[in-house]
Structure 1
Amino acid sequence: MAEDRLMKLGFTCPVCGFHDEKLPPLEDGQNKWYQEICPSCGTQFGYDDAVISHHALRLRWIAGGAKWWAPDPAPDGFDGLHQLRAAGLSPD
């Protein structure tokens, strides 16, 4: 049960599956992620996903190579396709 709680802490991007436990969850009820940008896929919430579905944004990111978007270094061992699969967001 404690493990389930830990899985819910932090932010998980609905586009690319990037997870950061230091950030508030997207479903925090406070719109904290409005206009924030995922460092992994570059999705700007409240802008990019206002007219394009998360699925379509995901396919676009994959078509571009599923690369780390932010200028800050990617986490060690970053692999966008592995990240998608681990989050249950199969690229297929």
Structure 2
Amino acid sequence: MPDRAETYTCPVCGYPGLDSPPSRDGLAFWDICPSCGTEFGNDDANRTHEQLREAWIAKGMPWWSTSPRDPPPEGWDPAAQLIAAGF
């Protein structure tokens, strides 16, 4: 998880380290979750967060980002992440 004063949780996979909220006042920020790869404002335009979550789970819950800037947190456990987020 990034070292920031405030982070946000992905409504798709429960990743708690988003730099900005997925949306505010109904407007998407177009950010991409490094955990599940959801691009807010694009991927969730025609599918619900629940549908996107189900698709990510069906793929085996892989860490999406291949950027060296966004490696998975040490000890990252996608199943525990989902549980911690209440999904």
The TM-score range, normalised by the shorter chain, is 0.7 to 0.9
Distance of 2:58 and 2:26 partners within structure 1? 32
Matched with 1:24 is 20
The two structures, once aligned, show a CA RMSD in angstroms of 1.9
AA partner of residue 57 (structure 2): I
Letter in 2 for 1:35: W
Q: TM-score, normalised by structure 1?
A: 0.75
- In our comparison, the structure showing a higher alpha carbon Rg is 1
Aligned to 1:70: 65
Q: 1:59 to 1:50 in 2, by over 3 A?
A: same
Unaligned runs of 5+ in 1: 1-8
Name the structure with the higher helix share.
1
Q: Which runs of 5+ in 2 are unaligned?
A: 1-5
Q: What is the percentage of aligned positions where both structures have the same residue?
A: 48
Who is 1:53 aligned against? Answer: 48
The 1:61–1:30 alpha-carbon spacing in structure 2 relative to 1, beyond 3 Å, is closer
The question of 1:42 aligning with 2:37 is answered yes
User: Could you tell me how far apart the structure 2 residues matched to 1:29 and 1:54 are?
Assistant: 17
